[in-house]
Amino acid sequence: MTVRIPEQPWLTASSTRAVMAALEAFGGPGCARFVGGCVRNALIGQPVADIDIATTLTPEQTDGAIRAAGLKSVPTGIAHGTVTAVAERRPFEITTLRRDVSTDGRNATVAFTDDWAEDAARRDFRLNALYADADGQVFDPTGEGIADALAGRIVFVGDPETRIREDFLRILRFFRFHAWYGRGAPDAAALAACRALADGMTRLSAERVSSELMKLLSAPDPRAAVAAMDAAGVLSRVLPEGRLSSLFDAAVEQGADPVARLMVLLPPDEAVIRQAAARLRLSNAVRDRLAFAVQALPGVGLGMGDREARAALYRHNAQAVSDAIRWRWAEAPDQADEARHLLKLADGWTRPSLPVGGRDLARLGVAPGPETGRLLKAFEAGWIAEDFPVAGHAERLAALVSARRG
């Protein structure tokens, strides 16, 4: 039975047609097919972000064909067979069909081929080993990819252990794809292979692991996948500092973003969080967000009033306090109304600037020096306690100076 992907804007776009026409002008009809995620997502009605193309042309032929058509060609990975074509400012990653010559669990040495079945055999999951021609006709070399995509099954191509030994990152990819596209229980053979080979992930770079982890945590509902990771002993390899608890379930139900989900997998200990961030090579922005949330946590409770909330927001920052509120909400799901009120306050509050400074103290006869800092700190403490009044600053400062002198 012939299967075609439903009509897609990207499939009929002039930029897409220009790239496919350029390749076929050189290699003839059928020399290029869409592959992987764009075909899979089109089949199951999910958005398509990247358009990848597989071709029987060599990288050099691909580059020449793209340039001959007047399009931009970027040699992004010639050694591995990849050229990026740019048409109407949209990139298309074009890769020559490949077969593995050797692998070491991280990198593969490949040879080019013109055999679509050989190319499919080296891919990770059957639902990713799908191809479609320029008219949308789908080709399924494994014979099970279409059925897997429609049923929400994440099944390795061939033997799961063999696929994992080729690249141990496929363990995390299995759970990530299950989080995004899987339905029901994970494939038993795949799960067993992930459990048996989990130690192999120590050979992976921290950047690859953290990137895959954050993609997994970005899924609409990754709870089942993360629970399966934990049961298979994979989560403890990725996050030895972490633990899975009801807090994670609650954070997902709140609609928390990936960083907030990661936060509740880690203990509320700044030193441990910074250690985990360094080991995973997380970005400075993510590291600081996690650390600042933990710093704010002791001063945040869902029972605090608006005045206390504004004081916390002033001392920390809106993101840190919001993250701390979400943490407390995860601890007490029945206080959702209080949490939502505080989150709304945090989102709408603008941190005021301290309304006095050293010049104001100089006008009151206070010479620059340590006493200036002590007076300003005392003024700030009172200003916060009074909920940031907008008037009477000169009088309060003068009274403070007078009291100190007295």
Looking only at the bridges linking them, the beta strands covering 32-35 and 52-55 are: antiparallel
Task: List the domain boundaries for the chain.
Answer: 1-151, 158-238, 245-351, 358-405
Cα distances (Å, whole numbers) of residue 133 to 15, 55, 64, 146, 147: 15, 11, 21, 15, 19
Domain 158-238 part of CATH 1.10.3090.10:
yes
Whole-prediction pTM value? 0.90
Domain 1-151 part of CATH 3.30.460.10:
yes
Phi, psi torsion values for 233, nearest 5 degrees: 80, 15
Phi, psi torsion values for 264, nearest 5 degrees: -80, -5
Residue 405, amino acid: R
Calpha distance 56→244 (Å, rounded): 46
Give helix then strand counts, H and E, for the chain: 22, 9
- Which two tokens mark 317? 């920052």
Identify whether the C-beta of residue 274 lies closer than 8 Å to the C-beta of residue 295: no
How many other C-beta atoms lie within 10 A of the C-beta of residue 164? 25
Using DSSP's 3-state secondary structure scheme, residue 64 falls into helix
Q: Do domains 1-151 and 158-238 have the same CATH topology?
A: no
Among candidate residues 205, 173, 206, the one with its CA nearest the CA of residue 283? 206
- Which two tokens mark 380? 């700030």
**H-helix segments, 297-335:** 306-315, 318-331
Calpha distance 12→19 (Å, rounded): 11
Per-residue pLDDT tens digits of the chain, which is 406 residues long: 789 999 899 999 999 999 999 999 999 999 999 999 999 999 999 999 999 999 999 999 999 999 999 999 999 887 789 999 999 999 999 999 998 766 655 666 778 999 999 999 999 999 999 999 999 999 999 999 999 999 999 999 999 999 999 999 999 999 999 999 999 999 999 999 999 999 999 999 999 999 999 999 999 999 999 999 999 999 999 999 999 999 999 999 999 999 999 999 999 999 999 999 999 999 999 999 999 999 999 999 999 999 999 999 999 999 999 999 999 999 999 999 999 999 999 999 999 999 999 999 999 998 899 999 999 999 999 999 999 999 999 999 999 988 887 6
Residues contacting 220, CB < 8 A, separation 6+:
180
